[in-house]
Amino acid sequence: MTAGGWVMLIIIWGFIISLTVFCMRTVLRLRDVEMDHIKPMLEIDTGDLDEQDKEKEE
Amino acid sequence: MDGAIAWNHTTGVDIDVPRENWASRMGIILAVAGSAVGLGNFLRFPVQAAQNGGGAFMIPYIIALLLLGIPLCWVEWTMGRAAGSRNHGSGPGILNVFWNHRLSRYFGALGIFIPLMIYFYYVYIESWCLAYSWFAISGSLGSAAGSNNAGDFLSAYQGLKENQWFSGISEAYIFFIITFFVNFFFIYLGVAKGIETISKIAMPILVILGIVIMVRVLTLGAPDIAKPDWSVNGGLGFMWNPDFSALADAKVWLAAAGQIFFTTSVGLGLIITYASYLKRDDDVALSGLTSISINEFMEVVIGASIAIPAAFVFFGPVGIRDIAAGGAFNLGFVTMPMVFSQMPMTAALGFMWFFLLFLAGVTSSISMLQPGIAFLEDEFSLSRKQSVGLLSAVSFFAAQPAIFLLDKGVLDLMDFWAGTFAIVLFATGEVIIFGWIYGIDRGFDQLHHGADIRVPKFFKVVIKYVTPAYLLIILGYWSYQSGLDQLLLRKVSAENFPYALGTMLGMALFLAAIIAAVEMAWRRKETS
């Protein structure tokens, strides 16, 4: 293979592989973010807010 | 599953019809990529590149990818998702959402016609791959190829001649039945359980098999000490050494555009159908780009590194030119068995190669059935069982000419009209409806709804002006170059003329029947 052939191969493979890696990485990262997003918030009912609400009403 | 409002023709009331959705984002990405990755990635692409300027071919190829493949992919994903939320999953309904006119429905019938017509012959070729993977393991293919009889082996398998390996078409027919059943089995299971499951299993296997064979080929070196030029390096050079003078030839640019069409599955009516099973707020910009990038990886990196370099190593710089001129099928089913017969682990490599092609075929062919299924389910409210039953019966009978009239030119005609001309025509219509009738600004907003990446504004201009112009040039050139010859059957021999005429009439009748079904479906909606 000539030097021109190697240059073409490296440029084209570089473009295609970079595009594929970028897309796959973004999709997989976003999947993690989406999973965090849909997890329910941690809810611990300590009752202090109810007391504060009552105080405000009074 | 999300509910969608549909009209019940029997009761005449709106009903909440649960429309299927993809179970995961990776599921649809792999399904669309699987639909695109087919025999063309491993056989057609390397032949096209080698015949059209080697490395220089990649310049018009990448330009066509950026100006045709990726924009059309985004258009189809966007149109499909939008129409899916209105309970339409096939060409007529999808185009009608973007252009509320009767003509859009009739034109959209191409989105059902094209994939089914291609399926009628593709499933038979796909069955060859399954059969050949079996023959590779059983050793009969290796012995035939080892004695330079791979061509006779293929002809006898196809029923075109009789010899020591086959005395009729019975084996080919059995493998056709198995392949046909496998396709409809996954279609019957549905979008998430069937198509998504097979895509998630088949695509990783496909990638692994491709990489294993690629590594084996790239480490062949120069096996014959007496012929140091017959090497992998030389084979890669045959594929990649640029001949920039080829860029002055318009045919090279059109060949590159044609290859992008064949490889990305745009214009076939498949992506719009798959995208219709997305949820309303799902991303299409990144998912579309990801599916197309996987396909390009399989084609340009893996596909380009197997068949041509391997054939070069064993047939040399003179032999490879004849092989490339012989076309993709010859390369896959005649040359490659001969190549593997000269390598260690003949049976294993042969099996891996043909099973890879079979998996690539299956993920493509099931996508060709889904538009028809979606049409029957969405527009006629048929159950999946009824839709699959009806479509399997039609497909089974329509696939017979490609099997029994193989040497009568039937397959070539179907391939030109459905697999070449109609897909460019359909894509042209889609992009004009999206960019001009619906409007590029609204279309671009739709594309960005729920998007995980921003598409550069440059693509607004591309989708509105460049892609349609590019498509019209291709359409005009192909019509000028071979359209009239094909239409008037000028190149068909007198012996094959009745078969060719029958095929043309059959295709016209099939398209007319789909258009009539579209009309019937909309009339039922209007009168109920």
How many angstroms separate the CA of residue B296 from the nearest CA in chain A? 7
pLDDT of residue B225: 86
Res. A55: pLDDT tops 70: no
What is residue B5's predicted lDDT score, i.e. its pLDDT?
43
pLDDT of residue B227: 87
Per-residue pLDDT band for A46 (boundaries 50, 70, 90) equals low
Whole-number Å distance between alpha carbons of B29 and B90: 19
* Among the listed residues B5, B28, B479, the one whose alpha carbon sits nearest the alpha carbon of residue B291: B28
Chain-centroid distance, C-alpha B455: 26
| 8 A C-beta contact, residue B72 and residue B357 | no
Listed as ranges, residues in chain B with pLDDT below 50 are 1-16
- Indicate yes or no: CB of A16 within 8 angstroms of CB of B296: yes
Residues of B in contact with A6 (CB under 8 A): 240
Cβ–Cβ under 8 Å, residues B423 and B114: yes
Is B212 touching A (CB cutoff 8 A)? no
pLDDT score recorded for residue B6: 45
Lookup result for tokens 């790239």? B218
Q: How far is CA B130 from CA B85, B299, B359, in A?
A: 37, 21, 9
* Nearest CA-CA partner of B160 in B442, B453, B394, B407: B407
Residues 6+ apart with CB under 8 A from B210: B42, B298, B302, B303, B306, B356
Cβ contact A20–B294 (<8 Å): yes
Nearest by CB to residue A1, choosing from B25, B26, B236, is B236
pTM listed for this prediction: 0.88
- pLDDT for A33 beyond 70: no
CA angle B320, B298, B315 (to 5 degrees): 15
Please check whether residue B234 touches A, CB under 8 A: yes
* Residues of A with Cβ-Cβ distance to B63 under 8 angstroms: none
pLDDT one-digit tens code per residue, B388-442: 999 999 999 999 998 998 888 788 888 888 888 899 899 999 999 999 999 999 9
**Pick from B84, B78, B452: nearest CA to A31:** B452
Flag whether residue B296 sits within 8 Å of chain A, measured between CB atoms: yes
Q: How far apart are CA B494 and CA B350, in angstroms?
A: 39
CB contact under 8 A, B26 and A27: yes
Could you tell me if residue B453 is left (phi over 0), alpha (psi between -120 and 50 degrees) or otherwise beta?
beta
pLDDT at A7: 94
Q: Which residue of A has its CA nearest to B24?
A: A31
Q: What is the pLDDT of residue B163?
A: 87
Measured distance CA(B501)–CA(B401) in Å, rounded: 13
Which among B129, B85, B39, B114 is positioned nearest to B370, based on CA atoms?
A: B114
Residues 325-384, chain B: which have Cβ within 8 Å of A?
A: none
**Number of C-alpha atoms within 13 angstroms, CB side, residue B265?**
35
Tell me what pLDDT residue A47 has: 57
From the CA of A35, how many Å to the nearest CA of chain B?
12
Instruction: Give me the torsion for CA of B412, B417, B419, B422, rounded to 10°.
Output: 170
What residues of A are in contact with residue B242 (Cβ under 8 Å)? Answer: 4-5, 8
Pull the structure tokens for residue B281. 């707020």
Closest Cα in chain B to A19: B293
Distance from CA of A40 to the nearest CA of B (A): 19
The reply to whether B394 touches chain A by the CB within 8 Å rule is no
Residue tagged 């000539």 (tokens): A2
ipTM of the complex in this document: 0.87
Alpha carbon of B247: minimum distance to chain A alpha carbons (Å): 14
